[in-house]
Amino acid sequence: MSGKGKNNTCAWCSRPTTLPAVFAAETPLIEWVEEKINMFAAARKLDRNFIWGTNSDWSQLKIPAAFEVELLAYDELLSTVNRKHICKSCLVEDHKLWTKYYQNIIDDPGDIDVIIDDIK
């Protein structure tokens, strides 16, 4: 980290970045995987957390083997966190996806029967 403007390589997209290293997962959030999780949940009228949450129990869900392999790989990549350089556009995009899929209730009108505002 010596010298101004020293270029490092973004661990996610391989573009040069001058940002300092941060703790980040092996992969950014992947929108199509997140969408697939949402679609799988919606098709079974389940909350996303039943499939992709700390208390999810896949043995009860009959997840197709190929999808389970994808989820396991994704989970592994996301839970492997270490110091790396991530460029600004990746950080912005990752935060955007995190906000979309992890911070708020799934913004997928039509698939959600329960309106969270009613519960509050």
Q: Which of 6, 7, 9, 13 binds Zn ion (CB under 5 A)?
A: 13
Min dist. Cβ of residue 34 to Zn ion (A): 18
Q: Among 24, 37, 87, 106, which residue sits at the site for Zn ion (rule: CB under 5 A)?
A: 87
Alpha-carbon distances, residue 119 vs 54, 114, 116 (angstroms): 22, 8, 5
Vertex 49 angle, CA 62 and 83, to 5°: 110
> Is 116 a residue that touches Zn ion (CB under 5 A)?
no
Which range, of 46-54, 70-78, 82-90, 103-111, touches Zn ion by CB under 5 A? Answer: 82-90
Buried b (16+ CB within 10 A) or exposed e, 98-108: eeebeeeebee
What's the DSSP call for residue 8?
A: E
SS3 content of the chain, % helix, strand, coil (to 5): 45, 10, 45
Total number of residues shown for the chain: 120
Residue 24 interacting with Zn ion (CB under 5 A)? no
Q: Does 29 bind Zn ion (CB under 5 A)?
A: no
Q: Which of 29, 33, 51, 90 binds Zn ion (CB under 5 A)?
A: 90
* # residues near Zn ion by CB under 5 A: 5
In the complex, the residues that contact Zn ion under the rule CB under 5 A are: 10, 12-13, 87, 90
